[in-house]
Structures are given as structure tokens and as C-alpha cells.
Structure 1
Amino acid sequence: MKKNLHLVDRIIRGVIGVVFIGFALFNGDYLEEPVLEVLIGVFGVLNLISLFSGWCPVYHVAGISTYKDKN
């Protein structure tokens, strides 16, 4: 897995991941569908995985890379 995410993309994904996981866990009675809560939580976790790995499978399939090599 070759890195394909720039630092800014990774930071944005981190924020999105934390917000979505928090919403899935602490949404109260706003969402009454447990399946939707799980899907939102999984989306948040996948964003955090991309944050830590620096690799996005969707970018890979689409042939997109925002990663800037320091060389």
C-alpha cells in the first residue's frame, strides 16, 4: 500500500472520523435505526484507519493521489 493522502487530507479524515463515531455513539434518540448508526460508526472508523495509514482505497481505485513526496 503506497501512501496516497496528503497531510491535510489525513487531518480532515481524522476530524470526520471522530465526529461520525461520536455521532454514532452519542446521538441520543435522533436516529432510531440501529443499522444506520452502525454504518455511520463504520464510516468513521474507516476514516480513522485512512488517517493512520495514509492510504485510501477509494483514491487507489480512482487513481488519485494527493500525497506529496518530500524528495
Structure 2
Amino acid sequence: MKKNLHPLDRAIRGVVGIVFTGFAVFNGDYLQEPILEVLIGIFGALNLISLLFGWCPVYHFAGISTEKSKK
């Protein structure tokens, strides 16, 4: 699995992942729909996984890479 995320992209995914996962876990009674809460939590967790590994499956299948190529 080759990295396909630039460090800035990884940082943005980290912030998004923390915000969405935190919102899903600590939203209180703001969201009344449990399915939506689970989907938001999954979205946040997937962003955190992409942050850790530096690899995005969506980018992989689309043939996109924001990682700088080393010459």
C-alpha cells in the first residue's frame, strides 16, 4: 500500500476526523437520529485511519495522489 496523501492533506483529515468523531460521540441530544450519528462517526473514523496510514482508498481507486513524488 503506497502512500497517496500529502502531509497537509493528512493534517486536514486529522482535524476533520477528530471533529466528526468527537461530535458523533459527544453530541448529547443534538442529533435525534442514531443512524446519522453512526454514519458521522464512521466518516470521522475513516479520516483518522487515512491520517495514520497516509493512504486513502477513494484516492487509490480514482488514481489520485497528493503525495509529492521523490526524484
TM range, smaller chain: over 0.9
Unpaired stretches in structure 1, ≥5 consecutive residues: none
- Counting matched residue pairs gives 71
Identical residues among aligned pairs (%): 76
Deviation (angstroms), 1:28: 1.4
**Which portions of structure 1, spanning 4 or more consecutive aligned residues, are displaced by more than 3 angstroms?**
none
Aligned to 1:9: 9
Q: Over residues 36-56 of structure 1, what are the superposed CA-to-partner deviations in whole Å (9 max), with x where a residue is unaligned? A: 111100110100000010000
Please give the alpha-carbon distance, in whole angstroms, between the structure 2 residues aligned to 1:63 and 1:70: 18
For the aligned residue pairs, the C-alpha RMSD in angstroms reads 0.9
Q: Secondary structure at the match of 1:2?
A: coil
In the alignment, the residues of structure 2 paired with residue 53 and residue 4 of structure 1 have an alpha-carbon distance, to the nearest angstrom, of 10
Deviation at 1:30, TM superposition (A): 1.2
Match of 1:45 in 2: 45
> Which stretches in structure 2 are left out of the alignment for 5+ residues?
none
Report the Cα offset of residue 18 of structure 1: 0.2
Q: SS of 1:25's equivalent?
A: helix
